Amino acid sequence: MKSKQPLIHLLLLFIIVLVSGLYSVKTVRDIESVNKLKQEVSRLEINIVKLADLSNEVPPLSDETLRYANTLPANENEVANFTGVVERFAQESNLTILNHFDDFPKQVDVIGKNMFGLGMEITLEGSFQGVNGFFSKLSTMQYFFKADKITLLKNEVNSGIKVIVNGSLIMGVEKK
Amino acid sequence: MGFSGRIKHNPHFYQREMSIMPEIDKNGGISKTITSYINFANSKHPNRPVTEMLVSGSRQDINAIALELTTQNITAINAVSRLASTNVINHTLLHTSHGLSLKTFDLQPSLNLLPIDFRLAIVKNRLMHFWLVMMDMLIVFSLVGILALYYIDVQAVINKAELSALANQYQQQLHLPQSQALITQADRLNQITGQLMTLREVTGGEENILSELSTVTPDGITLTSFVISRNPGIKRLYEPGNSWVITGSANSRSLVLNFYNNLLSNTTFSDGKLYFGSLEKETGITFRIANVPTK
């Protein structure tokens, strides 16, 4: 009695195992791609919803944005506007004022955040009450002036005081 | 018909196939033939006499033969075909590495009279058949697995195509000029509001310093200078932690001490130290209060 050798079976089995192995790798990669795409689509769906929200919310805020942006001068004209405001405050407080600006804006550290600022020195002369009123107005104006040093001196010539304020006018990026 | 004998103290069997009827007739019948064989065996191996006979076959008088051998003081066992019994569960012979054993799977005694090579060939054939069946099953299962994989992969590819199309659609929607304009506008708004909130924390309030200074300065004290400078990390100029120096003159030492005490009660100036310019004078005193060393 002669027994049949299972060579064909073994060969077939080997081929099937090889094919199924390769196909498994392909299937796993396809499934991974699908999962990544699902995450991407979820993210995009969230962004689409946010975009829809933005399209409802942003247009009414345009005026607000513009108003906020105007608080940060972005060019010489707007710096000139700020100067006008400060000079008006000094005039209202019966002070003489002298402004000196740096030539160029530079990075200013604002509690760890870097912002654009134009260094300036304001020299005021007048009464103590006048200076106090000037500072009150400076605090409530629309612009942001970061005072870093205040030097107050008794005026030798008259009974008033002289105040030198060093600081930076915080600026915004130039509007297009 | 056949018979098998068991030799005393020996687990081995010997056997003989009785198929030649003329020889039986010549010996005077089946019983005598068996007896003569026993005698012959005993004469050849006197130290290993035949002790037991197993009679098997399909003759009508097989029971009588067994009985006759018993009467001749030979223990004879009539082999009953296991195939005739319905109690026997498994007729398959136990396979061992040496061929077939003398016991079946259900541990019933059995005899196989086939030659050893033939028996080994049967065992090998059966084992090979078993393996072929197993491999056939494996192939079938693997093919089923491949079909399942194919189905899963096709589904994944379809999903991938659908999701890619959806992602592209969303991307296009997000990259529309009006969408980009909205996003830019929102970013700018966020940036500006963030900036303004930070700036609101660090600007303004300078008038508080002057007001406080004015409040605590009594008559008879003249401040000649006041310098306050922001130190890194301090949010507002009137908060503690900044560097400051006050210089002035006073009519009396007690006025200065009073002014100094009032000054210390204020949080902005609570860390100040008093320095007199002229210790020997009682009037026209100059002084300096500061939280930093000065000349």
Going from the C-alpha of B234 to that of each of A13, B21, B184, B241, B273, the distances in angstroms are 77, 128, 33, 7, 21
Domain residue limits, chain A: 7-70, 76-170
Quick one: pLDDT at residue B82? 53
Q: Tell me what ipTM this predicted complex has.
A: 0.73
pLDDT in tens, B119-168: 788 888 888 888 889 888 988 998 999 999 999 999 999 999 999 999 99
Contact list in A for residue B226 (CB cut-off 8 A) is 150-152
Check residue B168 and give its pLDDT. Answer: 94
Nearest CB to B167; choose among A13, A17, A44 = A44
Q: Which of A27, A121, A159, A171 to mutate to test the interface with B (most CBs of B within 10 A)?
A: A27
Give the residue-averaged pLDDT of A156-171: 87
The residues facing B7 across adjacent strands are: B50
State whether B203 and A172 contact (CB < 8 Å). no
Determine whether the interchain pair A150/B237 forms a contact, defined as Cβ–Cβ distance below 8 Å: yes
Residues of chain B with Cβ-Cβ distance to A25 below 8 Å are none
**How far is residue A75's CA from residue A116's CA, in Å, rounded to a whole number?**
12
**What would the mean pLDDT of A6-31 be, rounded to a whole number?**
89
Percent of chain A with pLDDT over 90: 56
Cross-chain residue pair B179–A51, CB shorter than 8 Å = yes
Tokens of B117: 């090579």
According to CATH, the superfamily of the domain at A76-170 is: Ribosomal protein S6/Translation elongation factor EF1B (3.30.70.60)
CA angle, residues B206, B207, B211, in degrees to nearest 5 = 130
Within 8 A by CB and 6+ apart from A31, the residues are B152, B156
Which of A10, A64, A147 minimises the CB distance to B206? A147
pLDDT of A1: 47
**pTM of the prediction?**
0.57
Q: Contact at 8 Å (CB) between B242 and B202? A: no
Low-confidence ranges of chain B (pLDDT < 50): 1-2, 7-19, 91, 93-101
The distance of B64 to chain A (nearest Cα, Å) reads: 39
Domain with CATH 3.30.70 in chain B: 206-290
Pick the CATH number of B206-290 from 3.40.50, 3.30.1380, 1.10.3470, 3.30.70: 3.30.70
